[in-house]
Amino acid sequence: MLDQLPELIDPVVFAERTSHLVGAVKLHRMSRLSDFLFEKEGDLKVDLHFYKEGKVPTIEGHIEGHLNLICQSCLKSLPWEVHKQVKIGMVQTIEQADRLEAGLEPLVITEERMSFPSMVEDEVIISLPDYPRHAEPCMEYTNVKFVEPEEIEETSDNPFSVLAKLKNTGAQ
């Protein structure tokens, strides 16, 4: 079993030292991701390199794992495989973010240390569909009763039924 990775990291220092983080992050450490999950047990496998590309501290690697999402149609479990490629350029300002080379996702670093599980869950959440649901129709309608128009009782004072009778008589 892989080691649980730390809560707080200093990603810029990691990049300056050229570091490699491999391990697991438990799903219950990621509260925002948990909102999407039917099953909150388990973890995500993380394999990330921190290095400098020119002057830009960069994080590159992947996040893998098996999730059970909540199907938004039937609210039951929806098995989902995570294969998220990560390539992040760390910046301090929005202007720097605009100047990043294509293919680098900007991450604005405002404090030295940041929550590592929070960074991982951000990466996974953006890879999830907006509206996760089973590929095949899964919604059950058994508890919904439709009232057919034919079942509505006709009453003698319904002006339309009177008109219908007149029309029938006139045609003969």
Distances (CA, A) of 116 to 98, 120, 132, 142: 24, 6, 25, 45
Kindly state whether residue 73 participates in binding Zn ion, applying the rule CB under 5 A.
Answer: yes
Kindly state whether residue 70 participates in binding Zn ion, applying the rule CB under 5 A.
Answer: no
- Could you please report the per-residue DSSP string of 123-138? HHHHHS-SS---SS--
Kindly state whether residue 49 participates in binding Zn ion, applying the rule CB under 5 A.
Answer: no
Pairing of strands 43-53, 56-70: antiparallel
Kindly state whether residue 72 participates in binding Zn ion, applying the rule CB under 5 A.
Answer: no
In the bound state with Zn ion, the residue whose beta carbon lies nearer, of 73 and 127, is 73
Number of residues that bind Zn ion (CB under 5 A): 5
Question: CA angle 8-2-78, nearest 5°?
Answer: 90
**Residue in 15, 46, 63, 71 binding Zn ion, rule: CB under 5 A:** 71
CB of 135 to Zn ion, least distance (A): 9
Binding site for Zn ion (CB under 5 A): 71, 73-74, 134, 138
